[in-house]
Amino acid sequence: MRLRGFKVHLPVKVCAACGRPFQWRKKWARNWDEVRYCSEHCRGQAKGRKG
């Protein structure tokens, strides 16, 4: 049996840098609560604005 539409049930957050929504990824399973950015690029952009 194939699961269809399983991505619909994944949690979604909004990126703190670009404001776009992004979905849960397996590599973030252990620290999903701390994830704030959708990509390394956005994380770098946000750090660049602070300093």
Let me know if 38 is exposed, middle or buried by CB neighbors in 10 A (0-12, 13-18, 19+): buried
Distance, CA of 27 to chain centre = 10
pLDDT of residue 49: 72
Q: For residue 13, report the phi and psi dihedrals to the nearest 5 degrees.
A: -130, 165
Any residues with CB less than 8 A from the CB of 38 and at least 6 apart, and which? 15, 17, 18, 20, 22
Q: Give the predicted TM-score (pTM) of the model.
A: 0.74
Per-residue pLDDT of the chain (51 residues), as tens digits, is 566 767 778 899 999 999 999 999 999 999 999 999 999 999 998 877 765
The tokens for 8 are 């619909």
